[in-house]
Amino acid sequence: MNQKNVLEQLDEFKQGKFDNKDCNTQVEAGWFDWFCNDRSLANKTKKLYGKVNSVLKANEKGKRFNPKKVYVSFKNNCPGDGHLYDSFFFVDIKTDDVVFWITPSSGYKKEIGQAQVAGPENGFKENLVEGCWKDILSYFSFKKE
């Protein structure tokens, strides 16, 4: 299969290709793992593609990754000490390596509600940014030094 880049995925989302609530459609939208009810994925897809779009717009300024060389995947996480939460990954099309991991709102008890981003700058050892969604967008808006 020829993996589409995130710009192509976003275009398909905007065209309504992922509106159907069936699992096959949602897997095509980018879901690879979830603990929530299958029927809730379509709503999560809408919310997360909105977040993906805002990161892409911020990244136009900061150029931290090339959107033509990555795709997006979604995961619904089940931490042992908290509640379900969603995250998404920008993944290198050629290598399948994660380029950035992002959650708009963590579900871990000690981090409830925190937006977070992790990436290769520190080998994913700790989050590069923690705070509110605006902090995530600021990170992607500024060029790496």
Domain ranges of the chain: 6-141
Q: What is the pTM of this model?
A: 0.94
Residue with tokens 């275009």: 11
Q: How far apart are the first and last CA of the chain?
A: 36
Q: What is the pLDDT of residues 95-113, one digit of tens each?
A: 999 999 999 999 999 999 9
Residues in the chain: 145
- Band of the pLDDT at 143, cuts 50, 70, 90? confident
Among 67, 114, 72, 110, CA closest to 90: 72
* Mean pLDDT of the region 56-79: 97
User: What are the tens digits of pLDDT across the range 16-52?
Assistant: 999 999 999 999 999 999 999 999 999 999 999 999 9
For residue 2, name the pLDDT band (cuts at 50, 70, 90).
Answer: confident
Question: And the tokens for 77?
Answer: 């996480």
Residue 136 pLDDT > 60, yes or no? yes
115 and 130 Cβ atoms separated by less than 8 Å: yes
The residue to which tokens 């590069």 are assigned? 128
Q: Write down the residue that tokens 């579900």 correspond to.
A: 107
